[in-house]
Chains A and B, each alone.
With several copies, the nearest count.
Chain A
């Protein structure tokens, strides 16, 4: 149940690049993962062999393109254990969250209602809902965090007690703290207080890294992005219960999502097409399909096992550096593999620049989680995040770089 990282690494072209003569150490997969050759090849095959538009062509190229596109949908559905009719392709996870905000939240919530989200959400899973709240006057409530960066479920119980919470938006895994949230339990809390409440999960940081079953999770909506799971840029998906999609009004409208159009109205196509307006991301779907194939071949249980063991070593390594504070849970089994840390007295920007100068790529900033930053009393963190192509040999350069930053920026 383990895989061979050095061999796998060869499949990712950027990883063989050198920066100023130093090996590139990519520790920013939580922002965007590297893309393996199989994914590039799948896209290239489409462009060089079957290049055409999907769905309406009567010639062979168009049929091949349609098969690629719909085939990718089936693959992704199988990968997350969902019904293909509930897989809507979007350009990224952000669009998926907005789809839910426009087609469900904005059409169901109003004054007197409340929406529950958390203090650790990525802006993609927060702003679409607060923006809707501003327009429609419903209330937004935020589940606070415990000391160790978990959702405070007792506080959540209180927040839903008045029965007004009709919608929950929660991240599956935090992109800053790494926390794996108990989405099932939080859903139960919300639905116990309001059985008809809908649950939307931001799975952006979960699906690349661990086995996920949409059916078992019991959510209504689940957002995914392709570029963090070995796929190309420009594609994501909303996974949803197809019956729910059936009832919903569309979000983006235009070609391909309609059944008929008259001068003053339209009837909608079947789901999931009703939610896919215009020419879709055909090459990107082909690429994402190939990424899903590779992840399936690696086996998501093995991926998770590799990452737990690597995160264990990462946490040890970071703890060994003086003046380094780790944000988020310290137990690797409770967390994903994005690890945020602070270096006392050195601004994250400077930590990042020093690491960058040594070929080590980490992310610094607020990671699109301003409410969380405020909650932690920070402006920014440095974050190192790993994936299938990382291994323990990537940890020494990280530690060396942090040590160098400490020395260089000592006052």
Chain B
């Protein structure tokens, strides 16, 4: 298990300088809280939707480099996409984490750098944390009122 297999440079970049990391979001529509009970990671994710598109997404919380970097990469990827498309990418990422070849490799952006994580089962949950949070945020938005808070544990 070598460090290089897991921690690609692009991952470390996101980890060191995360994008869209913030404790709050103006005019947020949904706020979800995810935690990974096994490693004790916690993530708050806030989503703002305009015209059925991800207008903005920010995350905050505690987590290892993989979870933080993955959430950062995710936030870049989904911002601006329409909700269905974002959900589809989240599913593609999830499948990639379980060993499948991603169907939309190009659209996953820096998310593709996490493909190697699939080889480290314990870290798969870390990489998924942000993606599962955004998926829940979107699904909550679609099911729910204009604004609400969901506390959801993986």
Q: What is A's interface to B at a CB cutoff of 8 Å?
A: 19-20, 55-60, 62-63, 66-67, 258-260, 267, 269, 347-350, 353-354, 356-357, 364-366, 373, 378-380, 408-409, 411
Closest 5 pairs (CB-CB, A-B)? A349-B64, A379-B40, A347-B64, A380-B40, A259-B37
Chain A residues lying within 8 Å of B12, measured Cβ to Cβ, are 408
Cβ contact within 8 Å between A409 and B15:
yes
A-B contact pairs, 24 of them (CB 8 A): A20-B2, A55-B38, A56-B39, A58-B122, A63-B121, A66-B122, A259-B37, A260-B37, A269-B37, A347-B63, A347-B65, A349-B39, A349-B64, A349-B123, A353-B6, A356-B1, A365-B38, A365-B39, A366-B37, A373-B40, A379-B41, A379-B42, A408-B3, A408-B7
Besides A55-B38, A66-B121, A379-B41, 13 other A-B contacts (C-beta < 8 A) = A63-B120, A63-B121, A63-B122, A259-B37, A259-B153, A347-B64, A349-B64, A356-B1, A365-B39, A366-B40, A373-B40, A379-B40, A411-B15
**Could you tell me the dominant secondary structure of chain B's interface residues?**
mixed
Asked if B128 CB lies within 8 Å of chain A CBs, one says: no
B1, B39, B153: the one within 8 Å of A267 (CB):
B153
B interface, size bucket: 20 to 34
**Which of B1, B40, B63 has the most A CB atoms < 10 Å from its CB?**
B40
Q: How far is the CA of A56 from the CA of B122 in the complex (A)?
A: 7
The answer, among B1, B37, B126, for a CB contact under 8 Å with A349, is B126
Whether A353 lies near B38 (C-beta < 8 A) is no
- Interface SS of chain A: helix, strand, loop or mixed? mixed
Interface centre among A57, A67, A357 (most CB of B within 10 A): A357
Query: Which residues of the partner chain A approach B126 to less than 8 Å between Cβ atoms?
Result: 349
The docked-state distance in angstroms from the alpha carbon of A56 to that of B121 is: 10
State which of B6, B39, B153 has its C-beta within 8 Å of the C-beta of A364. Answer: B39
- Chain B proximity of A282: nearest CB distance (Å): 16
The reply on B35 being an interface residue by CB < 8 A is yes
- In the bound complex, how far is the Cα of B7 from the Cα of A216, in angstroms? 47
Is B118 in contact with chain A by the CB < 8 A criterion? no
Given contacts A260-B35, A269-B37, contact A357 B3 (CB under 8 A): yes
Q: Is there a chain A Cβ closer than 8 Å to B104's Cβ? A: no
Instruction: Chain B residues near A258: list those with CB within 8 A.
Output: 37
Measured between C-beta atoms, what is the minimum distance from B18 to chain A in Å?
A: 10
Taken together as a complex, chains A and B put the C-alpha atoms of A66 and B16 apart, in Å, by 31
Contacts known (A258-B37, A347-B64, A379-B42); A357 close to B121, Cβ less than 8 A: no
Supposing A259-B37, A260-B153, A364-B39 touch, asked if A357 and B65 sit within 8 A by C-beta, the answer is no
**With A349-B66, A379-B62 as contacts: A411 and B40 at CB distance below 8 Å:** no
CB neighbors of A among B14-30 (8 A): 15-16
CA of A374 to CA of B153, assembled, Å: 17
Q: Mark B108-136, 1 if CB is under 8 A from A, else 0.
A: 00000000000011110010000000000
- Alpha-carbon separation in the docked complex, A365 to B123 (Å): 12
